[in-house]
Amino acid sequence: MEIAKGIYAVGGLNNKTAVFFNKTTDPVHSTFKAKITDSLIAGKWLPWGDNNLYPQEFANKLKKTGVAVGGLEVLTAAHFGTGFRLYQGTETEEAIIFRERLVESFPDIAAFYYRTKFDIVLTEIITDYETFRVSFPEYLLSPNGNEIISVRRIKAADCRFEAPDNSGIINNIGVNTDWENYEDKNTTVIPCFGANIPIEEIKAFCKEKGIRKFTIPVIDTLLVEKSYPSVGWHASFKNGWVDVVLSIPAFKKAMFEQQLNIKYLIHISDEYFSHVYGQDWNLFTPEERQEKRTQLVDLIHENLQGNQAGGKSIISPFFIDRISGKEIKGIQIDEVPQAQSNGDFLLDSSAANYEILTAMGVDPCLITGGAFGGKTLSGSGSDKREAWTILCAKLPIKQIRTLQIFENIKIWNGWDLTVFGKFPNINLTTLDKNKNGQETVVN
């Protein structure tokens, strides 16, 4: 039954799904038909990863990988820039002039912005998007469905796509905070629409079916994947480079714990004790002799360790061996070389860190002043400035997806169409060009 132009209801009266046969199809999900197999979770949810726990397992590994944590922070910070800002375009005979506007200039937008803490919601969605290249904003509607009154982030790791219908379209997502111990009663079903479906059509369908909340996933274009995007920079987690980074600290720790951690090796000749104690030495019992040796070692140890040992001298007599005539040192102290200070495996760690950041598209100079492993790399101000500029130049192709959230709300609520959102960024410059060393750039 056609309920609006290009929208057809399927199933019974309680079926809150839609199949879109209009010319604007969902490029993300309508290009495949998944087979209903035993691999589905509870027979209806598409697993994310072989065991359906890919995001959870990835996040656990990520938080142990310092360089990836730092790189991800750079990506999210660059994407968000200085925060969500409103701009308005005015067309003249010569050109289109864009100027920044205060949110307060538009009462309806300002009320929504402050009520929903829109900036914070966007930071959360951007974090999910930069981590998994998919995020799930949930739009909440007014009782009559005429307005979007709020938007919030559903944690991406908790979401799973429903198996496609016979037309190859995904109609819902399931939200569950514990997929490892799945229970149907703990799974919330939320209607899901494709990003390229016109907002007016979604609005008409939601009114007809009484839908008051839904999601339009912010998702990367799929290449050969069928449902969840394959994130490019996750390659270093799959090909072993991250394992290299994580194994080196564990190896170093084990080496520190298991090796003999001895600073000095002390040699003491029995001639020394014969000289000090004279004929009494021959009268001491073996136990008394050992006690005297221990007392001497403790005395030397106390005088060698700590700051108080600085500049001190130890006097040790020389003796002449009665048989060979050679000199014998009464006390000899040798320093034991410390093997853990040789920098083993740091070059391997450096190569692994570089591979991780290369996949992320983050220049190492943005998170460190020099190269990993102690070798000096270029970390000058100009290197950082150019690296940041290049990174920001790549952002529009990603920002256009997260900014679509504002566009969806704007169209649904009938706000001024000449107003649009942007994430301006700070472009570092030199003091001769700007006294504060920075300027705002809008991509």
Print pLDDT tens along the chain (443 aa).
Answer: 343 444 433 333 333 333 333 333 443 333 334 444 448 998 999 999 989 999 999 999 999 898 999 999 999 999 999 999 999 988 888 888 889 999 999 999 999 999 999 999 999 999 999 999 999 999 999 999 999 999 999 999 999 999 998 888 899 999 999 999 999 999 999 999 999 899 999 999 999 999 999 999 999 988 878 889 999 999 989 888 888 888 877 776 766 666 656 677 788 887 788 878 888 888 889 898 899 888 888 888 777 766 565 566 667 777 776 677 777 777 888 777 765 555 566 677 788 888 899 889 998 888 875 445 444 445 567 888 888 889 999 999 999 999 999 999 999 999 999 999 999 987 755 444 455 445 565 66
The position carrying tokens 């050109």 is 95
The b-or-e profile of 146-172 (16+ CB within 10 A means b, else e) is ebbbbbbbbebbbbbbbbbbeeebbbb
In a domain, 236, yes or no: no
Is there a domain that residue 341 lies in?
no
Residue 401, H or E segment: helix 396-402
In a domain, 19, yes or no: yes
Name residue, tokens 């750039």: 441
H or E stretch at 426? strand 425-428
Same domain flag for 154 and 53: yes
pLDDT at 81: 93
What six digits make up the tokens of 332?
A: 């000899």
Task: Residue 437: count other Cβ atoms within 10 Å of its Cβ.
Answer: 14
Instruction: Report yes or no: 424 and 441 within 8 Å, Cβ to Cβ.
Output: yes
Judged by DSSP in three states, 45 sits in strand
Do 66 and 211 lie in one domain? The reply is yes
Final residue belonging to a domain, choices 302, 335, 368 = 335
Domain membership of residue 316 as a residue range? 263-335
Same domain, 212 and 292: no
Do 29 and 159 lie in a common domain?
yes
What pLDDT score does 15 carry? 38
Q: Which of 323, 376, 21 is nearest to 169 (CA)?
A: 21
Closest CA to 211 of 7, 18, 16, 413: 16
Domain count, the chain: 2
Start-to-end CA span in the chain (Å): 44
pLDDT of the residue at 35: 45
- Regarding whether 213 and 165 lie in a shared domain, the answer is yes
Q: Are 426 and 439 in contact (CB under 8 A)?
A: yes
Name the pairing type of β-strands 213-215 and 188-191: unpaired
| Residue 147 belongs to a domain | yes
pLDDT value of residue 13? 32
Determine how many CB atoms are found less than 10 A away from the CB of residue 436: 7
Q: Do 40 and 180 fall into the same domain?
A: yes
Check whether residue 168 and residue 34 sit in a common domain.
yes
Distances (CA, A) of 284 to 264, 270, 417: 28, 13, 103
Q: What are phi and psi of 60, to 5 degrees?
A: -65, -35
Q: What is the pLDDT of residue 342?
A: 56
pLDDT at 95: 85
CB 110 within 8 A of CB 100: no
Alpha-carbon span 196 to 194, nearest angstrom:
6
Final residue of a structural domain among 335, 352, 373: 335
Q: Are residues 90 and 187 in the same domain?
A: yes
B/e letters for 104-113, b = 16+ CB within 10 Å, e = fewer, are: eebeebeebb
- Give the span between the Cα atoms of 354 and 362, in whole angstroms: 9
Residue keyed to tokens 């997260």: 402
Check residue 442 and give its pLDDT. Answer: 63
12, HSE (Cβ side, Cα atoms, 13 Å): 1
Is 412 a domain residue? yes
CA–CA gap between residue 267 and residue 316 (Å, rounded): 11
Q: Is there a single domain that holds both residue 208 and residue 310? A: no
Note whether 149 and 100 are same-domain residues. Answer: yes
Cα angle: 409, vertex 411, 413; to 5 degrees: 65
Q: Within this chain, do residues 98 and 146 fall inside the same structural domain, yes or no?
A: yes
Asked whether residue 71 falls in the same domain as residue 197, the answer is yes
Q: Would you say residue 364 lies in a domain?
A: no
